[in-house]
Amino acid sequence: MGAADIVPGVSGGTMAFITGIYDRLLGAIRAFDLALLGLVLKGRIKDAWQHVDGAFLLTLLAGIATSILSLARLIAWLLETHPVPLWAFFFGLILASALVLLRQVGAWNPARIACLLAGTGFALAVALSPALGLESAGLPAVFGAGFIAICAMILPGISGSFILVLLGMYAVVLNALKSFDLEFIAVFAAGAACGLLCFSRLLHWLLRHQRPGTLALLTGFLFGSLAVVWPWKEALDWVEGAGGEMRPVQQVPILPGRFLQLTGEDPQLWLCIALALAGGLAVWLIDTRWNRA
């Protein structure tokens, strides 16, 4: 999850879904409730720790932190110097994940097909949308950006950082963190906390009571997000990043030949195919060796 969150456009929720810990993660987040507060106030710290599945959350957070600290420079370097092969690997990873998850939906009916198509359409709409430009909309927009971004972050196939880019808030958030703008950070964190607690409860309820349809919807998100991780893209719109650099915000998938014409760069077709297959193989290994244990 940490490695995925480093890459703009790839969701840590996708990795949680692939590795089979998604339900447990939602359950642990959902456990931050009034019952937890009551246990803490009574001094029953051990019971509170078990209530939120503390060992699981601590291990997960340690893994995310370790991944970010150890892989951040490598992935940042790959994004800068070899973006096309890196995107190809993630494309294979997510495509194989979506195909694996299709099996978990069970028997298909019109309602579940509609959920799959709705998820795919929504993720495609997000992936191909232009920036909204909310950077000067004030603190209510900051709260809303935190709320929406964290919801996207726990959804498979939709990246929270990518949502911030679409809202025009990515550079604003990074600058606020760099300058330690306490008011901005507090409002954004409050929005994120509210979004996490509310949305995790909704997803947890849906997976418990409407699991096949919800799985179909989430699988649709994965299929739609393939437009974001397609290796060869043409940028239609740009925004200024935190360091003054221009970042593509609206991109459309193109064929390797068109990519060569536009950029003059080698599309590295065979390397991309090999890395996409490697990503698919990684998902197959995870699914066969761990998820069915």
pLDDT tens-digit series, residues 97-125: 788 778 878 788 899 999 999 989 988 88
Sign of CA dihedral 47, 52, 55, 58: negative
Query: Which of 175, 179, 176, 191 shows the shortest CA–CA distance to 142?
Result: 191
pLDDT at 114: 94
pLDDT at 56: 92
Contact predicate 182/168, CB 8 Å: no
Task: Please report where in the chains the tokens 């009574």 appear, as a residue.
Answer: 42
Task: Quote the CA–CA distance of 84 and 268 in Å, as a whole number.
Answer: 8
Binned at pLDDT 50, 70 and 90, residue 243 comes out as low
Binned at pLDDT 50, 70 and 90, residue 199 comes out as confident
Q: Is the pLDDT of residue 9 over 90?
A: no
Q: CA separation (Å) from 36 to 25, 43, 73, 125?
A: 16, 11, 38, 38
pLDDT tens-digit series, residues 280-290: 888 788 777 76
Task: Quote the CA–CA distance of 1 and 24 in Å, as a whole number.
Answer: 14
Three-state DSSP at 248 gives strand
Strand (E) or helix (H) holding 200: helix 182-209
What residue spans define the domains of the chain? Answer: 83-291
Average pLDDT over residues 61-77: 79
Which pair of tokens denotes residue 212? Answer: 């096949």
Q: What is the DSSP letter of 210?
A: S
Q: Is the pLDDT of residue 293 over 50?
A: no
